[in-house]
């Protein structure tokens, strides 16, 4: 982050990338002006995108103009490039030389081999050169310069970055490809449900088309010709559905962007290859859905079809039942998945992380170390804030507590076995950190201004506070006052704090060491009185402008940032809810059609039963009983599959719910209620029909 300004425009820019001058030899960008290849040779240079040029100057022909960084350093705009596309992991608006970033106090150590989390290295290979060949050489190179670190270095194709969450220190966050597979499978199941509906309803209506098929055969139609006709009808439906679906995707694309959190685009008509693929896919779906009804209907004997309209009654009934069972199995599976995902999400969002996240503000320090409210000025800033009744606590840290993404280093301490290696994460904090977060100290003491040795004054000497996980992993009974070392910082352990979650509940609480080094602090944490939050924020803003007027004031609530950790699960839940509703709707449409057909076929039976004294209630129960059997069978199939799928998904979380029996019972009951409501209209209508109307011609 840097403060960037031009004349009266000033913003905090958080999409600045520090790169080698050779950056443009590796990557290609659309250049609007300037020579990017030479643009970053000057340490006081910058390359900006169209968006930044228009933001500060209102135009793009700004080569040769200047921007001011951090209120005092002028840089020359040597090139302007086009805005980056949405599907790139190089997410930046500005490029500056690495040398300038180091001048600005950014933590970049290009000569230290074990700091792999700071600089991403890109290698341009000859076309079709197998990159795997270089991996052993890279491993050997790393081993010769940094043998004490266990990190594995190897080349990764750029096309794999977005779907490789297991790789650390990539330029941008990645996603789990399993989610794509899961949603694709659900979409395929929904499509399969629709195909099943078409098969079911086509075969159920066989009786109505039996005379047509018979007459066509009598006048000379071959079975092959009938199959082509019936398949043609199915393919025509599929192609029409493709056109409607393409229009719906276009209309609902904004909704899809909102659901996924990605700037997705849909330009189907501009890509003939995509159009051809989708048309072929629509043809395939039409053939798959229509092939069984085509062979089934074309196999009727013409004489029997003409003599008896109800020849098809009962034909293919077992297949239709099996297909309905399959449909409702998928629907029940999705209902169970929805309940499990919702329960796990609620569990994570409502479970206390071990610190009090409510009414806690996180204020980024968008300023160079030593300026603004850093160092001695912070004490005055803190004192003035605490003088206000609505402010309960003030401290600093390197990271906001809901997502401490620091790396882990090998720790050393008094009495550590030579053959034992322990990786411990670090968290740079300040005085009053644990008091502000309401994290209890379970042994020793908290950091205190009364102990000058607690703070690192540039000599790599400071006190340490460990979490319980670190003490347990170290295997020491009394950690207090033993000497501890991490990342060349050395000093005694002065306290132990209770474990708290500094990342999401997907991860276990790992060993962590806390120490004070003001150089690394990047956020101010302020706890406010819940009764007067807005008034307290107003006072904090006024105090900020008094001490750091040159730097914009920004803040966020830690509780809101904490919930953003689970945005991915929120999207999964929303998707499954939509998918479940769509699957159930399609299944119910098929069930409604089948129930209408079934009650029509049994109309004479119902009439006879009413004449002989059967009540409407008994007839409704009779007609609904068969559908109930189907739903019961669907539950028996869906439950074990749902348990397997959901249990595997829950393994992604270190802290998770238990899958309980009530989830399956509720899902089964919901499926039964949905099925009963679907068929109830037809069954009640048939039961209330006048038997005279049905039996008058018998």
Question: pLDDT tens digit string along 378-428?
Answer: 889 999 999 999 999 999 999 999 988 888 888 999 989 988 889 999 999
How do strand 45-49 and strand 73-81 relate by DSSP bridges? parallel
Distance in angstroms between the alpha carbons of the first and the last residue of the chain: 87
Residues 154, 135: contact at Cβ < 8 Å? yes
DSSP 578-647: HHHHHHHHHHHHHHHHHHHHHHHHTHHHHHHHHHTT--HHHHHHHHHHHHHHHHHHHHHHHHHHHHHHHH
The pLDDT value recorded for residue 697 is 52
- Output the pLDDT for position 313: 47
Top pLDDT among 677 and 111 is at 677
Rounded to the nearest integer, the mean pLDDT of the chain is 84
DSSP string covering 498-524, please? ----SS-TTSPPPPEEEEE-GGG--EE
Residue holding tokens 């029996």?
661
Please check whether residue 76 is in contact with residue 42, taking contact to mean a CB–CB distance below 8 angstroms. yes
Cα 660 versus chain centre, distance = 25
pTM of the model: 0.72
Q: What is the pLDDT of residue 57?
A: 93
pLDDT at 505: 85
Average pLDDT of the residues in 475-484: 91
Q: What is the DSSP letter of 492?
A: E
- Which class for 10: exposed (0-12), middle (13-18), buried (19 or more C-beta within 10 A)? middle
Rounded-to-integer distance, Cα 482 and Cα 618, Å: 82
- Give residue-wise pLDDT tens across range 495-534: 999 999 998 888 889 999 999 988 888 899 999 999 889 9
- The two structure tokens encoding residue 193: 């449900």
pLDDT in tens, 267-286: 766 677 878 888 898 888 88
Measuring CA to CA, which residue among 325, 236, 317 is closest to residue 283? 236
- DSSP string spanning 529-568? -GGGHHHHHHHHHHHHHHH-TTS----EEHHHHHHHTTHH
Cβ contacts of residue 625 below 8 Å, gap of 6+?
none
Residue 312's pLDDT is 44
Mean pLDDT of all residues in 244-249: 86
Listed ranges 172-186, 315-329, 471-485; the one with the highest mean pLDDT:
471-485
Of residues 130 and 203, the one with the higher pLDDT is 130
Cross-strand pairs, 412: 485
Count of CB atoms within 10 A of residue 617's CB? Answer: 10
Contact 183, 575 (CB under 8 A): yes
Residue 212: how many CA atoms within 13 Å on its side-chain side? 10
CA 256 to CA 164: how far, in whole Å?
A: 23
Consecutive H or E run containing 254: helix 223-260
Q: Are strands 412-413 and 464-467 parallel, antiparallel or unpaired?
A: unpaired
Taking the C-alpha atoms of residue 442 and residue 517, their distance in angstroms, rounded to an integer, is 23
């Amino acid at each position: 982050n840097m403060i960037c300004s031009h004349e009266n425009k000033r913003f905090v820019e958080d999409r600045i990338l520090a790169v080698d001058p050779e950056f443009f030899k590796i990557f290609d960008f659309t250049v609007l002006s300037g020579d990017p290849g030479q643009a970053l040779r000057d340490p006081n240079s910058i390359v900006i995108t169209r968006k930044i040029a228009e933001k500060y100057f209102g135009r793009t022909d700004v080569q040769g103009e200047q921007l001011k960084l951090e209120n005092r350093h002028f840089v020359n705009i040597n090139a302007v490039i086009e805005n980056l596309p949405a599907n790139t992991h190089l997410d930046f608006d500005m490029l500056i030389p690495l040398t300038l970033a180091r001048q600005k106090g950014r933590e970049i150590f290009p000569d230290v081999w074990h700091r792999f989390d700071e600089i991403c290295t890109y290698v341009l290979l000859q076309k079709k050169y197998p990159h795997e060949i270089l991996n052993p050489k890279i491993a050997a190179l790393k081993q010769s310069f940094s043998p004490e670190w266990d990190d594995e270095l190897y080349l990764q194709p750029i096309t794999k970055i977005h779907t490789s969450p297991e790789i650390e220190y990539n330029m941008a966050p990645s996603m789990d490809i399993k989610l794509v597979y899961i949603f694709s499978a659900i979409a395929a199941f929904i499509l399969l449900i629709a195909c099943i509906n078409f098969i079911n309803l086509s075969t159920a209506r066989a009786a109505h088309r039996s005379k047509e098929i018979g007459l066509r055969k009598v006048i000379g139609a071959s079975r092959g010709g009938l199959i082509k006709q019936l398949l043609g009808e199915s393919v025509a439906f599929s192609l029409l559905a493709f056109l409607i679906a393409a229009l719906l995707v276009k209309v609902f694309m904004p909704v899809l962007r909102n659901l996924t959190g990605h700037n997705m685009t849909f330009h189907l008509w501009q890509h003939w290859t995509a159009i051809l693929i989708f048309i072929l896919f629509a043809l395939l779906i039409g053939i798959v859905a229509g092939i069984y009804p085509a062979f089934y209907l074309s196999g009727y004997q013409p004489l029997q079809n003409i003599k008896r309209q109800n020849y098809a009654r009962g034909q293919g009934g077992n297949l239709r039942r099996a297909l309905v069972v399959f449909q409702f199995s998928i629907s029940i599976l999705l209902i169970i998945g929805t309940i499990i995902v919702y329960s796990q999400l609620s569990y994570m969002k409502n479970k206390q992380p071990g610190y009090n996240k409510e009414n806690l503000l996180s204020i980024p320090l968008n300023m160079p170390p030593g300026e603004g409210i850093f160092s001695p000025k912070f004490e005055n800033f803190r004192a003035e804030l605490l003088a206000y009744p609505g402010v309960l606590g003030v401290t600093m840290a390197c990271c906001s507590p809901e997502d401490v993404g620091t790396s882990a280093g090998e720790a050393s301490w008094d009495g550590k076995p030579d053959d034992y290696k322990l990786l411990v994460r670090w968290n740079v904090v300040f005085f009053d950190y644990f008091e502000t977060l309401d994290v209890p100290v379970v042994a020793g003491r908290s950091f205190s201004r009364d102990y000058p040795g607690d703070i690192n004054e540039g000599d790599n000497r400071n006190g340490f506070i460990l979490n319980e996980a670190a003490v347990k992993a170290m295997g020491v009974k009394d950690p207090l006052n033993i000497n501890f070392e991490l990342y060349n910082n050395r000093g005694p352990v002065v306290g132990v704090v209770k474990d708290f979650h500094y990342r999401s509940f997907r991860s276990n609480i790992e060993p962590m060491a806390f120490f004070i080094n003001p150089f690394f602090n990047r956020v101010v944490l302020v706890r406010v009185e819940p009764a007067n939050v807005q008034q307290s924020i107003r006072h904090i803003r006024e105090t900020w402008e008094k001490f750091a007027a040159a730097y914009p004031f920004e803040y966020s609530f830690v509780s809101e940032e904490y919930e953003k950790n689970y945005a991915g699960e929120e999207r999964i839940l929303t998707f499954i809810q939509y998918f479940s509703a769509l699957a159930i709707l399609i299944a119910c449409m098929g069930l409604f059609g089948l129930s209408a057909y079934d009650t029509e076929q049994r109309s004479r039976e119902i009439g006879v039963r009413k004449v002989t004294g059967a009540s409407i209630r008994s007839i409704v129960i009779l007609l609904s009983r068969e559908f109930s059997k189907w739903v019961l069978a669907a539950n028996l199939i869906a439950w074990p599959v749902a348990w397997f799928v959901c249990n595997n998904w829950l393994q992604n979380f270190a802290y998770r719910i238990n899958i309980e029996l009530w989830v399956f019972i509720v899902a089964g009951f919901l499926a039964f209620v949905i099925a009963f409501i679907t068929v109830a209209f037809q069954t009640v209508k048939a039961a209330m029909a006048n038997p005279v109307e049905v039996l008058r011609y018998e």
